[in-house]
Amino acid sequence: MSVDAPRRRDRSHLLYLAVLLAMALGITVGFLFPDFAIELKPLGTGFVALIRMMIAPVIFCTLVLGVGSIRRAAQVGRVGGLALGYFLIMSTVALAIGLVVGNILHPGSGLHLSEEVARTGTAQVSKQAEGGVDFVLGIIPDTLISALTSTQVLQTLLVALLVGFAVQSLGPRGEPVIQAVALAQRVVFKILAMIMWLAPIGAFGAMAALVGATGFDALKSLAAIMAGFYITCAIFVFAVLGLLLRLAAGMSIFRLLRYLAREFLLILSTSSSESALPRLIAKMGHLGVSRPVVGIVVPTGYSFNLDGTAIYLTMASLFIADALDQPLSTGQQIGLLLFMIVASKGAAGVTGAGLATLAGGLQSHRPDLVPGVGLIVGIDRLMSEARALTNFAGNAVATVLIGTWTREIDREQVERVLSGAAPFDESSFDDDPHSAVTASPTSAPQPGTASTASS
């Protein structure tokens, strides 16, 4: 009788509980000892500095690998091209919705923290280009390597895109570089995971200083952004995605989400949509979407279709700017939106990557606002569930839509599954049970080949 190797226990839930406890303790200290609590601000500032340290490597690795995903998806023809176009449009829509709601709610406008964080923020401000020409020239780094060691995020962005496209243009000869970057990414994310274990300390210091400086106004503002974020995610899923799914595929969003109920429970328990990735692939195949479409859309969507993350990034940026009484201009908001569209790709399911991307966006447009990231360290974990659920719902809808538009979906199988006549087999976990029930004289198509699914 063989003995299975012991599995490493997932202790991420302990971090979650620790952050919640630290927030509660910070709020208590802030109310009882406000003067002392304000002195605890360096704890939050130090944690933000550690996050800032990871901005360049996170963006470089995710974008280099992300460009590889674009090329691989584009190589499979119309399915990949349609999916990438859809992801770009929906990410932009999600970012825009976050900006609109953030500008309507202004959840951080009552905090007036500019004096408390000015000393920290001033040290982070670098020389800003005055004109458009200087701005463009400032994106070009002194050397290829210096972009990875500086705080100029746009320089890192440029180098990452150049390296990604250069490596992919080499074809098979570039695969060792891709593998090396993938290994480097694992190291970077491991470091980021280690830093996130300091999140309770950062959350305690930031929350104590925040409540000590502003009192009850801080709690009202934090509650406002959390409520606004959850409501915005719900509007996006049920109104935007639901309407699109009904018009394009004739399907109810409620029936689809009910079919994926177990996956949503799994995401709630782990705060990551990555945990449900294998099950989404299997269930989309069982639903009747062809294997090639599922194999292309779902994995690519997990890097490029982060609707919940997009909403979070824009709303959090506006919250920080309002809290520091330094609101973003319309031009800065548009520039931040364009940056987030690119920089947010590839950060799905990685604890702390959202904070690093948020800090990177602020660093590139308004470095004086970066210290404000500490204001949302605590509630970041509380909003992670909504981010993950929205990302997951967006990818499920995307798979159905791409299958519909490419005629790679079996409508009869869809109805049988959603009505409960063909339940998903949890025991076999077959990734494409549809192939066993489709009355087709030809064998199932392989990814990258042309196919015709029954409609």
Confidence of residue 258 (pLDDT cuts 50, 70, 90): very high
Residue 307: name the closest of 371, 244, 254, 248 by CA.
244
Residue 352: name the closest of 192, 207, 226, 205 by CA.
192
Answer whether residue 450 is part of any domain. Answer: no
Q: Is the dihedral of CA 236, 237, 243, 245 positive or negative?
A: positive
pLDDT tens figures, 354-371 = 677 777 778 777 777 877
Q: Which residues of 251-267 are buried (b: 16+ CB within 10 A; e: fewer)?
A: bebeebbebbeebbebb
Per-residue pLDDT at 323: 81
Per-residue pLDDT at 157: 73
Confidence of residue 33 (pLDDT cuts 50, 70, 90): confident
pLDDT tens figures, 186-201 = 888 788 778 778 778 8
Answer whether residue 122 is part of any domain. Answer: yes
Mean pLDDT of 125-140: 51
Per-residue pLDDT at 214: 67
Mean pLDDT of 293-319: 81
Q: Where are the alpha helices (DSSP H) in 236-272?
A: 242-249, 253-259, 261-270
pLDDT tens figures, 178-236 = 888 888 878 887 887 787 787 788 778 877 877 777 667 667 777 888 888 999 999 99
Confidence of residue 353 (pLDDT cuts 50, 70, 90): low
Answer whether residue 437 is part of any domain. Answer: no
Answer whether residue 14 is part of any domain. Answer: no
Q: Is the pLDDT reported for residue 4 higher than 50?
A: no
DSSP 383: H
pLDDT tens figures, 41-58 = 778 777 777 777 777 787
Per-residue pLDDT at 270: 56
Q: What is the pTM of this model?
A: 0.66
Answer whether residue 2 is part of any domain. Answer: no
For the domain that residue 321 is a member of, what is the CATH number?
Answer: 1.10.3860
Confidence of residue 7 (pLDDT cuts 50, 70, 90): very low
Answer whether residue 32 is part of any domain. Answer: yes
pLDDT tens figures, 45-96 = 777 777 777 777 877 876 777 666 555 555 556 777 788 889 888 888 888 8
Q: Is the pLDDT reported for residue 120 higher than 70?
A: no
Q: Mean pLDDT across the chain, nearest whole number?
A: 74
Q: Look up the domain containing 381 and give its range.
A: 22-428
Answer whether residue 412 is part of any domain. Answer: yes
Cβ neighbours of residue 393 closer than 8 Å, sequence gap 6 or more: 237, 241, 257, 260, 307
- By the 8 A CB rule, do 299 and 440 touch? no
Answer whether residue 17 is part of any domain. Answer: no
The total number of structural domains in the chain stands at 1
Residue that wins the pLDDT comparison between 260 and 139: 260
Residue 219: name the closest of 375, 104, 39, 359 by CA.
375
